[in-house]
Amino acid sequence: MAANRSSKHALLEAAVRAHLDSAATGATQISQLDLTALGADRTLLRTIVVGLGRWFLDEMERMKDLTRVLEHDGQRMGELTGEVKTNIVDLSYRAATRLIATLTPEARDPEATAVLILGALVALRRTAWTFGSPPLDIDDDRALAAWTELTLAALDAARDHRT
């Protein structure tokens, strides 16, 4: 029985490592985006925001099975669970924080803003996983369109806010 548990853990760890590698590749690509000119080009900014939102939803979908395993067995996986949080989950929030901080240096708390903005997409995906469909059956395209408007409005508000 211990050998079975050991091989199961090894398979899970291999799957996690594959997710970590994939997330690192995505993070590298996102970090190479030149965000400095985005504030002036609203069309390009909108395209980037939609793309990042879609990337985030796709990453979540790729992690669906792993997320469920971590929810069930995460306590027993110790260090591996921490690696997933740091190197996959927090990675998305760091990318969003970078976007917010670059575009709106006036923002009071880019990290908290990133968590709240991305939290809407997390809720969309997690509700679909739990109940078999997204809230109010709103599809990804419709949700991303509204999410993009909210994100751009939040960026505009932070830009307009002077302390």
> pTM to 2 decimals?
0.81
* pLDDT given for residue 107 in this prediction: 86
Q: What pLDDT score was predicted for residue 139?
A: 96
pLDDT of residue 34: 67
Tokens found for residue 19: 């997710």
Structure-token pair, residue 50 = 């939609």
* CATH number 1.10.1530.10 given to 2-30+42-160: no
Q: What is the pLDDT of residue 36?
A: 66
**Predicted pLDDT at 5:** 63
pLDDT of residue 22: 75
Q: How far is CA 68 from CA 72, 83, 94, in A?
A: 6, 16, 23
Residue 159 is predicted with a pLDDT of 75
Residue type, 116: L
The pLDDT of residue 116: 95
Q: Compute the CA torsion angle 15, 17, 20, 25 (nearest 10 deg).
A: -100
pLDDT under 70: residue ranges of the chain: 1-5, 27-28, 30-40, 74-77, 161-163
Domain range annotation of the chain: 2-30+42-160
Q: What is the pLDDT of residue 137?
A: 96
